[in-house]
């Protein structure tokens, strides 16, 4: 409502009161949509989504617990579960036997290792294309900015589960 407590600060950002584009989150989302689209133009020829590629690159011949992978990727645990479904169905990833019946330990299959190398090459093409389009220096700067933002914008409620 008429939030009087914030009127003082309102002057600080009054320049963009009417402009929703000032929203950093909105910009980030928009860029992510374009960026995802860009990468997936390349990845489409091997039938991978960018997210699936990310998951695939974080699985190896060494069994890793699902939660470890999720933490490393900083993906929602349940999102990872469903993302793995496709990779498992394609025979690239499988469950390694373990001692703890709760824990899922995931490994690449032989065909998964082969496919991962192929996917990596396709990603390289995409990344090179991105650097060609935006300029290598700018991409490096952007990477650094994203990295810095990530280091400062810590995830909220870090796993209260």
* Stretch near DNA under the rule CB under 7 A, chosen from 5-13, 14-22, 36-44, 110-118: 36-44
Instruction: Please pick, from the candidates 74, 100, 159, 160, the single residue that binds a second copy as defined by CB under 8 A.
Output: 74
Q: Which does 111 bind (CB under 5 to 8 A by kind): DNA, a second copy, none?
A: none
Closest to a second copy by CB, 47 or 138: 138
Mutual orientation of helices 77-89 and 66-73 as an angle, nearest 10°? 110
Closest to a second copy by CB, 33 or 77: 33
Q: Which does 82 bind (CB under 5 to 8 A by kind): DNA, a second copy, none?
A: DNA
Q: How far is the CB of 92 from a second copy (least distance, A)?
A: 11
Q: Which does 151 bind (CB under 5 to 8 A by kind): DNA, a second copy, none?
A: none
Q: How far is the CB of 121 from DNA (least distance, A)?
A: 20
Residue 127 burial (10 A CB sphere; 0-12, 13-18, 19+): middle
Q: Is 11 in the site for DNA (CB under 7 A)?
A: no
CA dist., res. 125 & res. 114, Å (int): 17
Kindly compute the dihedral angle of the four CA atoms of residues 6, 157, 36, 94, in this order, to the nearest 10 degrees: -170
CA dist., res. 66 & res. 130, Å (int): 31
Question: Residue length, the chain?
Answer: 161
CA dist., res. 92 & res. 18, Å (int): 50
Rg of the chain's alpha carbons, rounded to an integer? 20
Q: How far is the CB of 99 from a second copy (least distance, A)?
A: 21
Q: Is 61 in the site for a second copy (CB under 8 A)?
A: yes
Q: Is 77 in the site for DNA (CB under 7 A)?
A: yes
Q: Which does 103 bind (CB under 5 to 8 A by kind): a second copy, DNA, none?
A: DNA
What is the DSSP code (8-state) at residue 160? -
């Amino acid at each position: 409502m008429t939030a009087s407590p914030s009127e003082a600060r309102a002057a600080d950002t009054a320049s963009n009161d009417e402009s929703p584009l000032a929203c950093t989150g909105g910009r980030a989302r928009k860029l992510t949509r374009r960026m995802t689209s860009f990468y997936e133009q390349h990845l489409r020829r091997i039938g991978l989504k960018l997210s699936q590629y990310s998951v695939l690159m974080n699985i190896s011949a060494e069994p890793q617990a699902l939660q470890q992978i999720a933490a490393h990727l900083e993906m929602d645990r349940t999102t990872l579960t469903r993302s793995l479904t496709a990779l498992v169905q394609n025979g690239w990833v499988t469950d390694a036997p373990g001692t703890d019946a709760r824990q899922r330990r995931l490994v690449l299959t032989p065909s998964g290792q082969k496919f991962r190398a192929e996917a990596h090459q396709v990603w390289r093409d995409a990344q090179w294309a991105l650097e060609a389009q935006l300029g290598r220096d700018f991409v490096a700067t952007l990477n650094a900015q994203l990295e810095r933002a990530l280091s400062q914008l810590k995830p909220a409620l870090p796993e209260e589960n």
